[in-house]
Amino acid sequence: MKKTFSLVVIFLSLTIGNSYSKNELYDKIDLFGEVLEKIKKDYVDEIDQSEIMDSAINGVLQSLDPYSAYMSPELFEEMQTDTRGEFGGLGIEIGMEAGLVKVIAPIDDTPAAKAGIKAGDYIVKIGEEQVQGKSLMEAVKLMRGPVGTSIELTIKRKNVKKSLKFKIVRKIIEVKSVSSEILGDDKNLGYIRLKSFNENSDKQFLNIVQKFEKNSKIIGYILDLRNNPGGLLTQAINITDFFLDDGEIVSTKGRKESETRKFFARKGDEIGGKPIIVLINNGSASASEIFAGALKDHKRAIILGENSYGKGSVQSIVPLKNGGGIRLTISKYYLPSGDSISEVGVTPDILVEEAEVDFKMNTKSDNQLNYALNLFKT
């Protein structure tokens, strides 16, 4: 009964301000109760009413957009570890698209990435469970499990006719968000790979930049955000600010006044105006797109690679009384130009598609990185 009441409250909240009259609203609530009673009484199999109510709550949230979702108390507790840099699972960031679970990006050096999962893949089966019709959080729950156990993912991939199957062993995922090395024939280019925007990314990133800046041979930077699914908005703002002297970085607009804000760069470019090439692909999403889009709009960097994912919204985690929570979209963000990247993404200045054969990032087969290196020679 308590869950039914919760759903009614959610339904009421979503319909306030709509064109429903009060009578129409109560008619809808009565209809929901009638349908629930019919299911309970006449459905062919006995049902778990608690699961039915969870699915109904999820249905309400997922009708809003692909990123809003309900988390059970168990999933909510697990989610708390995600932005701290350590969690169990396969190592992929996923979202919903047209009722399907889509891979936003595999995380570097994780079981999913090593198995060959790619950004843009659609997960159609997890083990023996069909994914279509399940919520995002139900899919997450199926993929997580005891460390050392394996799970088979069945994937549909663009331009590949047959389904692909990947057997992946679960492990503790430690997200080390920043790595670096010196590249170039003359060892004069700072290469920084930013894998995610988590709690400590800005500090790690700045430490690397400051070390590079002590090397007098460094003439420019390649910043690699490919397969970076995003993370914390504050981190995206802080890291973008390292390379701008002034101007707007990003703005957010929501229904509440508190969610409508503009964020500006502070004076000081950490690399003194040296040239930058930013690498992006279809797995660069959210905070990655803020970073790449701001540097592009300010003409501070050349953006190279493929069109980014197109996730231009901000989610807030709202705790619930039952120990669970909801992830709810509260605002959309806009680039300094005023453009929204939702469903559009950031278009690269130089389009270089990933080589189809034997492509592996930061190796001799990485044609996108090789293109960037060659640009510094001209």
The answer to whether residue 286 is catalytic is yes
Distances (CA, A) of 55 to 4, 25, 210: 12, 21, 49
CA distance 244 to 249: 9
- CATH architecture under which domain 86-174 falls: Roll (2.30)
**Catalytic: 297?**
yes
Query: Exactly one of 297, 308, 331, 366 is catalytic; which is it?
Result: 297
- State pTM to two decimals: 0.79
Distance of CA 163 to the CA centre of its chain: 24
Amino acid, single-letter form, for residue 214: K
Domain ranges of the chain: 2-71, 86-174, 178-314+330-375
What does the alpha-carbon distance between residue 279 and residue 308 come to, in Å, rounded to a whole number?
A: 10
- Catalytic position from the list 308, 311, 331, 366: 311
- 300 near 84, Cβ under 8 Å? no
pLDDT per residue rounded down to tens, the chain (378 residues): 445 444 544 444 454 455 556 678 888 888 888 888 898 889 998 888 888 888 888 888 888 888 888 888 877 876 665 545 555 689 898 888 877 899 999 988 899 999 999 999 999 999 999 988 788 878 888 888 888 889 999 999 988 999 999 999 999 887 789 999 999 999 999 999 999 999 899 999 999 999 999 999 999 999 999 999 998 999 999 999 999 999 999 999 998 888 899 999 999 999 999 999 999 999 999 999 999 999 999 999 999 999 999 999 988 889 999 999 998 999 999 999 999 999 899 999 999 998 876 788 878 889 999 999 999 987
Residue appearing with tokens 């598609």: 353
Both tokens of 29, joined, read: 């609530």
Domain made up of 178-314+330-375: CATH architecture: Alpha-Beta Complex (3.90)
Single-letter residue type at 146: P
User: Could you say which DSSP state residue 313 is in?
Assistant: E
Tell me what pLDDT residue 268 has. 93
Q: Which of 201, 286, 308, 313 is catalytic?
A: 286
Predicted pLDDT at 22: 67
CA angle 40, 44, 45 (to 5 degrees): 75
Q: What are phi and psi of 234, to 5 degrees?
A: -60, -35
* Contact by Cβ (8 Å): 83, 327: no
* CB 359, CB 365: distance < 8 Å: yes
| Torsion (CA) 360, 366, 368, 369 in degrees, nearest 10 | 110
Annotated catalytic, 216?
A: no
On the question of a common fold for 86-174 and 178-314+330-375, the answer reads no
Q: What are phi and psi of 216, to 5 degrees?
A: -70, -15
Whether 71 contacts 79, CB under 8 Å: yes
